[in-house]
Structure 1
């Protein structure tokens, strides 16, 4: 190659380099809470370079509740996020521009925990008691629906602001009487409190809205459909890989997030797989929504909270970006 040709080739390479670098779109994913096992697939896919290969420079941000993540995504300050679907419906009714593209929890993870030694046998004993959870907690947002379902006055309890990490210590010290928490950490509470632990899953009393879902800002979605499709399918692939073998996924999580106990996270992942599994995710696609269930969730939010801005329930979600060849395992 001549000296001129060599210089020309180097110049061409220099011109192409910035184009390749700019091809990756920076995307902020705001979580619903601090990272735990249910977020391990995102860390695993990022570690494997799957998002990067799809042209996505993913930034994972710790969240402060489904309500906050729904607001952030709806306002466009985060392109994507994780939020409880009922909370997302409520936010959409207030004008938030967001669309759910993948259901992580096909079943509601919400539950209430208490100590039987405090004289609580179930929801009928909740009036007059203190419930401890963070202000943005989805169960606090949806509390009126729960209260009406079990036949108590929504105003009959008082809420105490408690961080996620302080829920169990606060319950143990009796600073609070009841706490809400995801089913993910059920085993940790059983080990801590044994037979004294009282528990009620929302799904067992007929309140089973879709739980955590991947949501996308509506404006971002309209302009970046291919990118959203790529993100959704990479995430599907990651969750399917973690369902098959959680070990490398939890390893990726623990390498990026401090203060987590591996045994606890492994227990969590077993519960998460229960929450991910339903007839739709096992037959249509991992992460798929069922239209009738979304309608019921929409009606529940409309009935208990009202909608400042009416919208068709089909507008809150889409299955269009899912890879239907990827399905949730049946066991």
Structure 2
């Protein structure tokens, strides 16, 4: 009887205070697998999570460190990771869109929701003092990058656009954090990296640094983007829309003021240098900006550009099973009122 009285008293007190008498049900468990280890371009996701935006929308978000776009976009069967968007192992992911198209042709059930890099971040770096002065000097050189790196997957496209035989170079497996050390020690002759890491190399190598962004040779496919498993999208359209719009809102907030976003990132991820991440974010804002993200909506994916990306992949890599590229992306989840602020981008 005393227990019943105590329970009744607790219930009455809860009602008086406006507190639920029973714990609120947990939000929908949602996993986001990153393309690599977390850096500044992932900070909006950490910021939105720290602000409780996902939680308020009923989303219990887990952010998982990835091992390359080829991993986060590929279909299960490669044996590299079980948490892959294309197989349904993870509902959301970050992946290079050209790499995602390759995976989709192999059966991965992927749909792009929002571009993060409207311009390609893919860049090759080298040291002039080692005899490399441009793309024409790439043959016979060793390129260092991880095996799942998007630039390695898409190398045949770069090689053909640059007039180089695809087999003219050799690849050396190095970790994402070991690229500068490998170049400095001449373990490799060239490294691939995202343009957002540009300043770190400028500081390290100064005028000896040479580089070429893929855009410079006429290749500008969409870069890292937010993707979703197609079956998950069909089953949970409202949740996906909430997730996209919260993420879009977070990116806009970070463009306006990156300080709290980087704090959220650094609070959760160890080993990152704050000043380096600040420099990265300035480059990321440039990569986020094009005629569509500034007018149609932050993260907008243009249909004509996607057709060109599809043709790029089909021409240089081939499609195992051709598909209608319009099924590979949607802009319906984006809020057109949230646009990229070009005034925040340094020229």
TM norm structure 2: 0.91
SS at match of 2:294: helix
Q: Aligned partners of 1:153, 1:282: CA distance in 2, in Å?
A: 38
Q: Aligned partners of 2:250, 2:20: CA distance in 1, in Å?
A: 34
Q: Which runs of 4+ in 1 moved over 2 A?
A: 6-18
Q: Aligned partners of 1:326, 1:17: CA distance in 2, in Å?
A: 37
Q: Aligned partners of 1:99, 1:124: CA distance in 2, in Å?
A: 36
2:311 pairs with one of 299, 302, 306? 299
* Shift in Å, 1:307: 1.1
* Shift in Å, 1:7: 3.4
What is the RMSD of the two structures over their aligned residues, measured on CA atoms?
A: 1.9
Change (3 A) 1:310 1:8: farther
Alignment pair present for 1:67 and 2:79: no
Q: Aligned partners of 1:170, 1:237: CA distance in 2, in Å?
A: 38
Q: Aligned partners of 2:313, 2:22: CA distance in 1, in Å?
A: 50
Q: Which structure has more helix as a fraction of its residues? A: 1
Number of aligned residue pairs: give it: 327
Matching residue of 1:41: 44
Q: Aligned partners of 1:313, 1:149: CA distance in 2, in Å?
A: 22
Q: Which runs of 5+ in 1 are unaligned?
A: none
* Shift in Å, 1:126: 0.8
Q: Aligned partners of 1:236, 1:8: CA distance in 2, in Å?
A: 45
SS at match of 1:90: helix
Matching residue of 1:215: 227
SS at match of 1:280: coil
* Shift in Å, 1:16: 7.3
Matching residue of 1:27: 30
Deviation digits for residues 90-135 of structure 1, max 9, x if unmatched?
0001000010000001000000000000100111111111000000
Q: Aligned partners of 1:156, 1:162: CA distance in 2, in Å?
A: 19
TM norm structure 1: 0.95
Q: Which runs of 5+ in 2 are unaligned?
A: 75-83
1:247-286 alignment, distance < 5 Å: 247-286=259-298
* Shift in Å, 1:223: 0.5
Matching residue of 2:11: 10
Q: Aligned partners of 1:15, 1:230: CA distance in 2, in Å?
A: 25
Q: Aligned partners of 1:67, 1:99: CA distance in 2, in Å?
A: 15
SS at match of 2:219: coil
Q: Aligned partners of 1:8, 1:28: CA distance in 2, in Å?
A: 40
Q: Aligned partners of 2:31, 2:234: CA distance in 1, in Å?
A: 17
Alignment pair present for 1:149 and 2:161: yes
Q: Aligned partners of 1:151, 1:192: CA distance in 2, in Å?
A: 30
Q: Aligned partners of 1:97, 1:323: CA distance in 2, in Å?
A: 24
Matching residue of 1:104: 116
Alignment pair present for 1:76 and 2:88: yes
1:309 pairs with one of 314, 321, 330? 321
